[in-house]
Structure 1
Amino acid sequence: MNNEPTAIKTIPVLDSEELRVLGALMEKSKTTPEYYPMTLNALTAACNQKTARNPVVQFEETTVTLALDRLKRHGLAATVTGGTSRVVKYRHTIALQYSFTPDELAVLCLLFLRGPLTPGELNSNAGRLYEFDDLAEVQSVLEKLVSSTAPYIRQLTRQPGQKEARYMHLFGDPALVDTYVAETNVPPVQANNNLEERLAAVERELADLKVAFEKLMKEWTG
């Protein structure tokens, strides 16, 4: 099976609202297929879930509608009409645009909804999106998405104390990618120095407060 997308296309720069709506559509197409395609009300509720989301948001239906319109222009969402229901429904079309396989879609969906994750976190949270055999299979999918002609995800530098490096998608604002990279590339020595500086500042403030308190007590008792 060839997991490499057949047509290399430019990755769109999606904002946080578009990513949440797209991720929710991708998730529910697998976890609740009986309610997919989704109504605007159901999609809004999916975006605003308090579980399996980072960050948690509170979108209005208007926000979701506008995000859907932008996703349609990117070719990543479509409206479904007709049949026995008169209610307008929505579905994602990312698999059609990029020929992603189900395992690749599962990884991207989790990254869209939860932010940067380690292979272990991807494996444990995939759930009904895709049943990975083991961590090695997850790593294989990640490597395909990283090494594609047009990379779809990026590996971040492993943070101090972490056993695994995190991965993030590249469908968002490049500035956001740079932010995550800058955060993960802070040398441990520098991080420790920053902590020491903060502790020193707190100690100075406490010393100043102690002096001020003693002075006040002397004036009051004198």
Structure 2
Amino acid sequence: MRRLSVRELSPLEARVLGVLVEKAHTVPDSYPLSLNSLLSGCNQKTAREPVINATEAEVLVAVDALKSLSLAFESSGSRVSRYEHNMGRALGLPSQSVALLAVMMLRGPQTSAELRSNAERLHHFADVSSVDAFLHELAERAPEKGGALVVKLPRAAGAREPRWAHLLCGAVDASALQLAAESEDFVAAGELAALKANQHAMQEQIDALREQVERLYAELGIARS
């Protein structure tokens, strides 16, 4: 069964699409993205699994392929070509599902808790159960709509929770992922990544609150003690 109403994506096409979705939320002032910004996002060393080193020509080919599938398009009215995603409309998905798929395209298979933490800047999920609801909806997507877009992987030995993977690039080799997941170091790394993502989100909230307090002090003319 085909996973998309169009063809399956290459790993680089999926990475490009994930970056377009991510940057629409994290750098809205510079979105749509120029080719150079898109290249930097694809080759980013943090929050990426696996880390890649694509060339500008390769990214441009991937963008053109996404445009032909109506998953991305080029913005008009600028001297520099800029690109944005059209994922939600092309696949008929809500923004919550788009956010979860983007995080999986950028960071690989993750647990529901990890997805919630890592998707925080793209969409705020109230709790893990709300993430699970959208994941199950994606996993049970009707064949006439293109079939499932995610799959729950078998829980690895010693792992507390099963991980989810996207199917935008086709079927997932669960056995290969199982071998990597069976080590305790791998499980610890996944949990640590989720904790770091949550800590980063909390720090951003604290910084924003601190700025608001400083602004109020200034507006009221109150000196800080």
Bucket of the pairwise TM-score, normalised by the shorter protein: 0.7 to 0.9
Checking the alignment, whether the CA contact within 8 Å between 2:15 and 2:106 is kept in structure 1 is: yes
Q: Is 1:167 the equivalent of 2:164?
A: yes
Alignment partner, residue 71 of structure 1: 66
Alignment partner, residue 123 of structure 1: 116
Alignment partner, residue 152 of structure 2: 155
- Taking the aligned partners of 1:105 and 1:37, their CA distance within structure 2 comes to 17
1:55 to partner: Cα distance: 0.6
1:70-117, Cα deviation, whole Å (9 max, x unpaired): 1111111111121xx311100111111112111111100001101111
Counterpart code for 1:180: A
SS of the counterpart of 1:79? strand
- Taking the aligned partners of 1:168 and 1:16, their CA distance within structure 2 comes to 13
1:180 to partner: Cα distance: 2.4
- Taking the aligned partners of 1:111 and 1:160, their CA distance within structure 2 comes to 22
Q: What pairs with 1:78-89 in structure 2 (closer than 5 Å)?
A: 78-82=73-77, 85-89=78-82
Q: Does 43-52 or 94-103 show the bigger shift? A: 94-103
SS of the counterpart of 1:168? strand
Alignment partner, residue 204 of structure 2: none
1:182 to partner: Cα distance: 5.2
SS of the counterpart of 2:132? helix
Checking the alignment, whether the CA contact within 8 Å between 1:81 and 1:87 is kept in structure 2 is: no
SS of the counterpart of 1:57? coil
- Of 181, 184, 192, the residue aligned with 2:178 is 184
Q: For the aligned residues, what is the CA RMSD? A: 2.0
Checking the alignment, whether the CA contact within 8 Å between 1:157 and 1:185 is kept in structure 2 is: no
1:177-218, Cα deviation, whole Å (9 max, x unpaired): 1x22454399x8xx9xxxxxxxxxxxxxxxxxxxxxxxxxxx
Q: Is 1:48 the equivalent of 2:43?
A: yes
Alignment partner, residue 21 of structure 1: 16
Q: Percent of aligned positions with the same letter in both sequences?
A: 38
SS of the counterpart of 2:158? coil
1:128 to partner: Cα distance: 0.9
SS of the counterpart of 2:49? coil
Alignment partner, residue 10 of structure 1: 5
Alignment partner, residue 103 of structure 2: 110
SS of the counterpart of 2:40? helix
Between Structure 1 and Structure 2, how many residues are aligned? 176
Superposed structure 1 runs of 4+ greater than 3 Å apart: none
1:25 to partner: Cα distance: 0.3
Checking the alignment, whether the CA contact within 8 Å between 2:13 and 2:63 is kept in structure 1 is: yes
Q: Provide the TM-score with structure 2 as the length reference.
A: 0.73
- Taking the aligned partners of 1:60 and 1:39, their CA distance within structure 2 comes to 14
In structure 1, runs of 5+ residues without a counterpart are 1-7, 192-222
1:7-54, Cα deviation, whole Å (9 max, x unpaired): x96253111110111100010011111111100011111111111100
